[in-house]
A and B are shown apart, each in its own frame.
Chain A
Amino acid sequence: MSTTYDPMTGEPIETPDDIKDNVENKEASVENSTDEKVDSVTEATVNEANDTVNASEQSTTDNASTQSYEQADDFGGDEGASDKKAPKIVLGIIAAVALIAIICLIIFSGAFSKKKKVEKACAATLNIETQLIKDLKPVLKTMSSDQVTTNYSVSIDDMGDITGSVIVNGKDKQVTANIDVDELPKLTAKVGIDSKTVKAEIPEVIDKVFVYNYKEAKDGYITDMLDDEDIESIDKALQTIYDAQNSADPDDNKFAIETAKLIRKYSKELQFEKEDSKEFKIDGKKVNAKGISVEVDSDLIVDFWDDFTDLYLEEFGEEFEDIEDMTGESIKDTFKEVKSELKSFPDTEIIFYIYKGKLASIDIDAGKRNGEVEVLFKGGDFRAQNISIEADGEEVFELKGSKKNDKETYTFVVQDEEVCTLTYNTKKGSLTFEYSDGYDDYEYEAKIESKGDSFKIIVEDIEVSYDTYADIEIEIVKGAKIQKYSGSEEFDIGNADEDEFTELLDDVDEDIIDELSYLF
């Protein structure tokens, strides 16, 4: 594939190399007027260079995929779009996303019997019972607690070690680090945030605790270095970081509750009908599964998305405005782009095939343009252990799962190519991840130790660069205690004047700086 650029927007367009060759052949016939002035550039390349810009633009855009104009038109939906089908892998992904959305809709749905059967079948199918998930459940519970400490240790060959902790105690947060790297002095660092201030120290370099109060107005040299808008952005960002908090109590999560209500409201619009049975291969045997269909109106999905957008922006919009000011990325634009994608989706018929109270298949007929997608639950030790997704009869994705003795293995296959494999040895507690990036094959093994509320994962021999490896250990424990700062006095960053900043240099440990200067 080659990259061409949309002349209107600058967006890159991937074109197959045969289209690029057509462009080159057309341009080769244009006469060159400057070749006698060129010494070292070959005549062929100068011939190509001397085509007019308009001629090269026209022929390139005529031959490039029509997708380039669809991409340039942000909110145009599918009006005027060609009949060309989306690539099969995209169909598979869209189907998966639509599937998750539809499953959410029906799981929370109401009382009619056919709907209830589908609802129960989905829940039963997705109740995934692997040993790995069972072993990970305690750590997920710990991580969602509002008091958790994550201890980390990174050891890099021929370089040294970095250890420390990430401590979360309600909304108070702190990160500590102990750095022991060859040829450098040992250093410790702490940085943390509480309800009013951010504090930081590296005591070996300077015996002060740097304090920044993000709640109060600032009056020092910092107001000369940064303008008011920048300071306000920094303060808002820090407030957002402080406010981010795990909540163990689901009733606190107003957003989740309102979303569930929204889903229930729209699911009542869905009508389920009985369909003919169909044959499938499940657990290695041919079986007949009963069908239940539902027609999903695309307007319904778009209306749901509109209401969801309003709800989301009401809850989180203010925080995203601050991020937008800093980054230029607009969350509203993102929601609009998703809406545009949903608008282009036609009315869709979905048929759920159910065998012994669990899903055998979900067939999605998304109309002539988008084709048919089938998600097959092939079973094994449990129904969702082996899944494949077919688009217009061709397999685009497969999850191959198996359990033998103490090993659970899951292989992900995309368009007949094995992308990665996850193997969990339930006896040893080791998780192996294998993947290929197209050049080399990689294998990472992690050891998992789970004890009560604490969880440890150890990964050895990660290649961090050519011929350099690292071992990483992460331990997550319930409970948290913010560590004290050891500096003998505080330095108020927000209110210190220029002289006080200059005087900092006098307090810095010169020996340490000499040793660190090697880095620069």
Chain B
Amino acid sequence: MVNVSGIYKSYGKNRILAGASLTAKPGELVALVGKNGCGKSTLLQIMAGTMKADSGTVSYFGKSDKKIFEKFTGFVPQNDPLLEDLSVYDNLRFWAAGKETDTEYLKLFELEDLLKVKVSTLSGGMKRRLSIACSLERKPPVMLMDEPSSSLDFYYQDSIRSWMLDFKKRNGIIIFSTHNETEIMISDVVYIFDDGILKRIEKEDINMDDIRNSFLISDK
């Protein structure tokens, strides 16, 4: 269970999040939708522990102490956090923090034949798959992903969505920002950003026209 409550965050005088709250249950895909600059990436970074909120709380499975981020979350930011000069295998080992690399994800993300390849030579799609595999090394139950399929071709978009659906089947939780209609439609819950707070839309109520309109309404 993920519980985000009353998150406030400002950059200087610019208030981005004004009491943002959300919840997510095991087996849910939760989409964060909003205009560019509305705070989606900021909220994901706060939930991943890489940025501190001005106020508010984040808890995972009832826990909110300092170690929760490392234990419960895998974070895939928009810019793949890979060590470009190292090989695929060395990147996985780095994220596994000395433990044995998980062979399950090597097969799943078709990385087995790329282990010795330097990351800087990989295509965008391969790097994204590797980023996800690295984030999964510590087996987190919650994946936070910032536009997981942006700038990918259809083949890789499909591949990543298939993985997302499989992860959710295993009681994983994925909270992700997206501008992609297909990803919104396969989600269980959508949160729309509106002036720093989040409006929740359940799966049965998801309507793409309404979502598009909400961007027009909140435009200033």
Contacts and interface: CB of A to CB of B under 8 A. Distances in A.
What size tier do the contact residues of chain B reach?
35 or more
A57 B140 CA distance: 17
Given A34-B185, A39-B182, A438-B103, A49 B168 contact: yes
A73 to B, nearest CB: 14
A360 to B, nearest CB: 35
B13 interface: no
A327 B118 CA distance: 34
Contact of A49 (B26, B72, B171, B186): B186
Contact of A40 (B86, B154, B170): B154
A111 interface: no
Contacts of B66: 327-328
A439 B115 contact: yes
B91 to A, nearest CB: 10
What size tier do the contact residues of chain A reach?
35 or more
A328 B27 CA distance: 28
Given A7-B26, A438-B103, A60 B169 contact: yes
A5 B66 CA distance: 21
Contacts of A329: 67
Contact of A48 (B72, B89, B165): B165
Contacts of A2: 104, 170
A328 B72 CA distance: 14
B104 A4 contact: no
B172 interface: yes
B188 A3 contact: no
Contacts of B33: none
B86 A7 contact: no
Interface string A10-31: 1110000000000110010000
B10 to A, nearest CB: 19
B142 A41 contact: no
A465 B87 contact: yes
B212 to A, nearest CB: 14
A437 to B, nearest CB: 7
B1 to A, nearest CB: 8
A1 interface: yes
A133 to B, nearest CB: 27
Interface stretch (B14-22, B122-130, B155-163): B155-163
A40 B104 contact: no
A185 to B, nearest CB: 21
Contact of B26 (A3, A57, A438, A466): A57
Interface centre among B26, B60, B67 (most CB of A within 10 A): B26
Given A41-B158, A53-B25, A4 B186 contact: no
A10 B165 CA distance: 17
Contacts of A23: 169
Interface of A: 1-12, 23-24, 27, 34, 37-42, 45-46, 48-49, 51, 53, 56-57, 60, 327-329, 437-439, 465-466
7 pairs of A and B residues whose beta carbons are closest in the complex: A10-B141, A12-B139, A7-B26, A328-B67, A5-B141, A466-B87, A53-B27
Given A41-B162, A56-B169, A57-B26, 16 more contacts: A2-B104, A2-B170, A4-B171, A5-B26, A5-B141, A5-B172, A9-B61, A10-B72, A40-B154, A46-B186, A48-B169, A49-B168, A328-B65, A439-B89, A466-B86, A466-B90
Interface of B: 25-28, 60-61, 65-67, 72, 86-87, 89-90, 100, 102-104, 115-116, 118, 139-142, 154, 157-158, 161-162, 165-166, 168-172, 182, 185-186, 188
